[in-house]
Structure 1
Amino acid sequence: MLIAVVARELRLAIRRPADALSGLMFFIMVGSLLPLALGPDSILLRQIAPGVIWIAALLAVLLSQHRLFESDYADGTLEQWMLAAAPLPLLVGLKTAAQWLAGVGPVLLATPLLGWQYGMETEVIAVLLLSLVLGTPSLCLLAAFGAALTLGVRGQLLLALIALPLSIPVLIFGSHAVVQASLGLPAAPSLNLLGAFLCLAVLIGPWAVAAALRLALE
């Protein structure tokens, strides 16, 4: 059943590429339009690049995750999950992991292009990619928690109000790691904090999402 859950999510992403690629298009547009507005100042672009790329990644995750459980809620899949032998937090975690792979994977592939557009060096881009790999799963779990709390409520504003404040530590540590690398300083402390936050999110996030789904189904 666990394999079937992951395979189902990946098949849905392939059948509906617009949903999976909407976050990627938003990420590219936000990251590409800002340099055009600020001009060709390479020093300024390198200074703002970490924050801009991380904010674009955060908004792309929220955009791709706001309807995470809507189809499952409409067709009765969530009720079946409640009755399944597998624990609901495990199913939620697998669904979120599959959505991360389908929605954030293309964003990670496009990140070096944005890094080169901002004039970032190869070593700095590598740190940026590592920070996104460590940080975006936490963002997906936070967005899944917000999507579960707002299940059945129209609009994305409430999801943003829930997920954005919780995402601030990831945003700070992720951008700080890239800034440290661009200055030639060690980025390991910030990356370690991102890893610690990811461990905490993996340990707590699926159970919090499962509890929110149970409340929505009552």
Structure 2
Amino acid sequence: MSAPAPLPSLWQASRALMVRDLRLLWRRRGDALQPALFALLIVVLFALALGGHADTLSLVAPAVMWLAVLLAGLLSLDSLFRGDADDGSLEQWVLAPVPLAWLVLVRVLLHWLVTALPLIVATPLLGELLHLRHDQLPVLLASLLLGTPLLSLLGAVVAALTVNMKRSGILVALLALPLYVPVLVFGAGSVAAGTQGLDPSAPLLLLGAGLVIGLVLAPLAAAAAIRISLS
């Protein structure tokens, strides 16, 4: 009688999921570029709409950057679990010998790496298009690094709740935007506080606290929502 196969570790399961997702992403690399192109389009349209005046653009540059990143992430939110639900992979997630919340966290991390991180890296260049003040850039980058993972975590809960609904793109946006507003306020507010000579650490600390809470609770909530959606 042969011995049962050993159960995969969390690292092995994470590695297998990330390799699979990256292969699928490479096959659909045109779709993967859509969030970045959408964010670039938002920045260019704001620059054109405001007439290219440096003083006017510099006042709204942090808020525009935050809106561009937020809307770019929202664009790909509906597909976070949709493909897995369509091909039956989501049922295998539930039956897998690793916690479902862990798999959700890995998927959210990959979503953030693909949608938000390239935009954060490109923030200095995009900031030049908006005449962003150089002294605002460190606080803006810090707020994006703390806030964008929280946006992905909150979005994962909404995407899990609507995973079995057909054509739920608008519904996902309507449910996610109220959750995104506090993150947007604190993110853009930290840059505004620094511009006014105030200490921006309070909004950044609130974003950090929200990120810690989100890392603990959001995967559990999304896993519970997936189980409810599949039941």
Give TM-score, length-normalised by structure 1.
0.95
Q: Cα distance 1:116–1:184, how it changes in 2: closer, same or farther (>3 A)?
A: farther
Once the two structures are TM-superposed, the CA of residue 165 in structure 1 deviates from its matched residue by: 0.3
- TM-superposition CA deviations, 1:96-117 (whole Å, max 9, x none): 1011111212211221112112
Aligned counterpart in structure 2 of residue 47 of structure 1, from 59, 68, 71: 59
Residue 114 of structure 2: aligned partner: 102
Which residue identity does 1:204 align to in structure 2? Answer: L
Which residue identity does 2:147 align to in structure 1? Answer: G
Which residue identity does 1:140 align to in structure 2? Answer: S
Residue 187 of structure 1: aligned partner: 200
Once the two structures are TM-superposed, the CA of residue 43 in structure 1 deviates from its matched residue by: 2.1
Distance 2:22 2:134 in 1: 31
Residue 130 of structure 1: aligned partner: 142
Q: Cα distance 1:183–1:119, how it changes in 2: closer, same or farther (>3 A)?
A: farther
- Say whether the 8 Å CA contact 1:21–1:106 is kept in structure 2: no
Distance 1:90 1:118 in 2: 39
Residue 5 of structure 2: aligned partner: none
Residue 68 of structure 1: aligned partner: 80
Q: What is the RMSD of the two structures over their aligned residues, measured on CA atoms?
A: 1.4
1:195-206 to 2 correspondences below 5 Å: 195-206=208-219
1:70-85 to 2 correspondences below 5 Å: 70-85=82-97
Larger helix proportion, structure 1 or 2? 1
Aligned counterpart in structure 1 of residue 164 of structure 2, from 139, 147, 152: 152
Residue ranges of structure 1 left out of the alignment (5+ in a row): none
Distance 1:181 1:9 in 2: 39
Which residue identity does 2:69 align to in structure 1? Answer: A
Following TM superposition, the consecutive aligned residue runs of length 4 or more in structure 1 with deviations greater than 4 angstroms are none
2:79 alignment partner, SS class: coil
Determine if the alignment matches structure 1 residue 168 to structure 2 residue 172.
no
Once the two structures are TM-superposed, the CA of residue 63 in structure 1 deviates from its matched residue by: 0.4
Q: Percent identity?
A: 45
- TM-superposition CA deviations, 1:2-31 (whole Å, max 9, x none): 211122222222221122211111101001
Which residue identity does 1:200 align to in structure 2? Answer: I
Residue ranges of structure 2 left out of the alignment (5+ in a row): 1-12
- Say whether the 8 Å CA contact 1:19–1:64 is kept in structure 2: no
